[in-house]
Amino acid sequence: MLIESIKLHNFRQYYQTQTIDFSTSLTRNITVIHGENGSGKTALLNAFGWCLYGILNLPNEDKIINEHALSTARKGEIVEAFVLIKYNHNDKSYTLKRSVKAEVGENEVYYFEPELLLEYKNNGLSDIINNPQIEVERTLPSDLRSYFFFDGERIDNLSKESGTDDIKNAIKSIMGLEILERAISHTGSARKKFRSEMKRFGDTKTNTLIEEIEILENRESEILSDLDLQKQNSILNDKHIKELEARLKTIEGAKQLQELRDKKNLDLNDVKKEIYGIQNHLNEVIAKQGYLAFSYPALQKAERILKEKKSDDVITGVSEDFIDNLIEQGTCICGNHIREDSVHYNHLITAKKLINSTPIEQKVMDSLMNLGVIREKKESLFKEIKQLKENELIKIQQQKKLTEEIEEISLKLSEKDSEEISELETKRVKLTRQKSEIDRKIGQLENEQRNVQRELKEKKLDQSKLDNQADKAKLTQKRISACENLEEVMKEILRIREGLVRAELQDKINEVYNKFLRKDYSIELTDNYELQVINPKGNIVGMSQGERQITSLSFIGAIVNIAREQHKKEVKNEFEDGGIYPIVMDSPFGALDSDHRERVGQNIFKLADQIIVIVSTSQWRGEVEKQMHSQIGKEYNLVYNDPRINKDKPYEFTAVKEVK
């Protein structure tokens, strides 16, 4: 979607008709609209939202029609306000117009219902779309509008912990994950519908199984809901703990202790990871070689039996052919000559008679050798297990020591003379205990979920094995099985796709971020969809408002960039439709210092195929104008008419003037 123009007629402070044509150039893709404070920049940004979605985020949002247009109208006259946007999407030209009319009364203004009209042109032919709002939603869903039409001074919310849901929704919608989630949901609904049908055809046993399966499925849904709630509680709890610890670091007398606790907690987390790694390795070793420990008594018995079968008068390791060759050559391996009447010759003939040449004797010897190898493997296994357990014990002792040291720090903070420090630490300890309780509940729910899933699997298997079903019931059972298999496949695809999207987005965010920020930081997109800034030492750092603004802008730029790349792919899968999206931003430089303004101004054109920047004159002049100049395709100035100054036009309005 590329926006070609916007026309405002009597919309808020825009009197009569004001038109802005936007740049759609690939080389000069920026349109700049600048004006003084109060000149209508926010109203212009809202004009996009009102025209596309009927949403207005302004004071007195019900007063859409320009006040001067209403005040100069005669009684009974109809006054109209509208916003008209022309845009191109998938090589089709669209004209969208949202309008509202009002009748001027004696002392009141009577508004009519707004109207929406959408017309499109394709190959020279025009047509009116009957469901315009649905078509707009298909092009640019309303729940994504804040990513493409936004106030730059408020966009920093995305980089706060409260913005995780917004980030998750944006990723799912733009990156094709929402399609998979909907497909899984629809398939689940179809499966339940088929199971209800099954009750009509099945016998008592079948219906009993179906009821048991439904009870288990309902319980699984309840568990998932409870799990989600507890995980949200855990995230919120962690957030409050971080806030308290951050506050402690700002208070003299607590700063050093809190910083020491932060270090101990990092060390503790590292030790826990090492313990987890050792335990995993131990489990793998036992799973693969544990049989050696349990089977060895049987192997010892087998070795004893084989040795009893072995003859002491049998020579092994030498073949008859070898002895025949020695006699033929006439020289023994000891160097003596061999003659038929010699002692050496007689020894070789005797040895030849004692050579093991029977298959069973050879197999006995081979088995004894193999048992020796197994014995060595068993000894190696016990040695490795012993070493792993010793390493685990060392790490557990380290864990215990660090835990005690952290508890000691907490005690010192609680005993501080400062009432503020003591109170903050008391709250932190309470939250830490709550976290332990939440983690315990999560563990219980996850264990119950596994049990329910195992029982469900067994019940579904029992149902599929029932032979005494009518033909219709068998057909329905096949459909149920097909739905279940499809759900499992789609869930696995969703899991893999989420991982790929997260990795791709992570790389793209950092690519954009590094162009904007002067510090050697990176951004991490956590499993909870939180944007965290990491310093070169790997620690999470706090962000200023300007840095949060840049972080959020990097996320938006990255997601728009990926969607654009997917859309332009010649070969793409079902989830990579992507799209071309514009970015319209108001005041993107407000919270930035001079250096960051310069960096953003220099690289902002790379974020999308079309950039529309609405900016105050003070933010525009200087480094921003200098850096963006070569990328500007269109430039406009919002001229505000102050009735206190302009006596010829004693009313408030804004006019749009193009800068040539």
User: 474 vs 368, which has greater pLDDT?
Assistant: 474
Nearest to 155, CA basis, from 651, 642, 557 = 557
Taking residues 167-195, what's their average pLDDT?
78
Is the domain of 389 the same as that of 407? no
Taking residues 328-341, what's their average pLDDT?
75
Reported as a pLDDT band with limits 50, 70 and 90, residue 553 is confident
User: 202 vs 29, which has greater pLDDT?
Assistant: 29
CA 276/CA 321 separation, integer angstroms: 59
Sheet containing 30-35: order of strands: 149-151, 582-586, 610-616, 30-35, 632-641, 653-658
CB 188 within 8 A of CB 220: no
Return the exposure string of 71-94: e unless at least 16 CB atoms fall within 10 Å of the residue's CB, then b: eebeeeeebebbbbbbbbbeeeeb
CA 620/CA 614 separation, integer angstroms: 9
CB 659 within 8 A of CB 635: yes
Is the domain of 394 the same as that of 331? yes
Whether 392 is in a domain gets the answer yes
Q: Is the per-residue pLDDT at 275 higher than 90?
A: yes
Is the domain of 298 the same as that of 226? no
Reported as a pLDDT band with limits 50, 70 and 90, residue 371 is low
Taking residues 107-125, what's their average pLDDT?
87
Whether 409 is in a domain gets the answer yes
Q: Is the per-residue pLDDT at 263 higher than 60?
A: yes
Is the domain of 1 the same as that of 104? yes
Taking residues 418-422, what's their average pLDDT?
88
Reported as a pLDDT band with limits 50, 70 and 90, residue 33 is very high
Whether 569 is in a domain gets the answer no
Domain termination site, one of 365, 398, 431: 398
User: Which pLDDT score is estimated for 86?
Assistant: 95
Whole-number percent of the chain with pLDDT over 70: 86
Whether 73 is in a domain gets the answer yes
Q: What angle do CA 87, 53, 3 make, to 5 degrees?
A: 15
Is the domain of 312 the same as that of 419? no
Is the domain of 414 the same as that of 391? no
Taking residues 644-650, what's their average pLDDT?
83
Is the domain of 223 the same as that of 358? no
Whether 176 is in a domain gets the answer no
CB 219 within 8 A of CB 452: yes
pLDDT tens per residue across span 554-575: 888 888 887 787 777 776 666 6
Is the domain of 414 the same as that of 392? no
Is the domain of 383 the same as that of 441? no
Reported as a pLDDT band with limits 50, 70 and 90, residue 494 is confident
Q: What are phi and psi of 146, to 5 degrees?
A: -70, -10
Whether 338 is in a domain gets the answer yes
Domain termination site, one of 498, 531, 562: 498
Is the domain of 196 the same as that of 328? no
Taking residues 366-375, what's their average pLDDT?
64
Reported as a pLDDT band with limits 50, 70 and 90, residue 204 is confident
User: Which pLDDT score is estimated for 124?
Assistant: 73
Tokens describing residue 302: 């087998």
| Count of C-beta atoms within a 10 Å radius of residue 19 | 13
User: Which pLDDT score is estimated for 370?
Assistant: 65
Query: What's the domain count of the chain?
Result: 3
User: Which pLDDT score is estimated for 158?
Assistant: 57
CA 12, distance to chain mean position in Å, is 40
* R_g of the chain, CA atoms, integer Å: 39
Taking residues 391-416, what's their average pLDDT?
91
Reported as a pLDDT band with limits 50, 70 and 90, residue 469 is low
Question: Is the full-model pTM beyond 0.95?
Answer: no
User: Which pLDDT score is estimated for 153?
Assistant: 58
User: Which pLDDT score is estimated for 46?
Assistant: 92
| Count of C-beta atoms within a 10 Å radius of residue 39 | 23
Is the domain of 258 the same as that of 407? yes
Domain termination site, one of 381, 398, 415: 398
Taking residues 357-362, what's their average pLDDT?
51
Task: Give the least confident one: 34-43, 275-284, 381-390, 505-514.
Answer: 505-514
pLDDT tens per residue across span 207-252: 888 888 888 988 988 999 899 889 888 888 888 888 888 888 888 8
The mean predicted confidence, pLDDT, of the chain is 82
Q: Is the per-residue pLDDT at 11 higher than 70?
A: yes
pLDDT tens per residue across span 131-159: 999 999 888 888 778 778 877 655 655 55
Q: Is the per-residue pLDDT at 513 higher than 90?
A: no
What CATH number does residue 13 fall under?
A: 3.40.50.300
Is the domain of 134 the same as that of 30? yes
Q: Is the per-residue pLDDT at 413 higher than 80?
A: yes
Reported as a pLDDT band with limits 50, 70 and 90, residue 483 is confident
- Domain that includes residue 437, residue range: 185-265+401-498
Helix (H) or strand (E) holding 569: none
Whether 557 is in a domain gets the answer no
CA 538/CA 322 separation, integer angstroms: 69
Whether 282 is in a domain gets the answer no
Q: Is the per-residue pLDDT at 404 higher than 70?
A: yes
Q: Is the per-residue pLDDT at 311 higher than 60?
A: no
SS3 326: helix
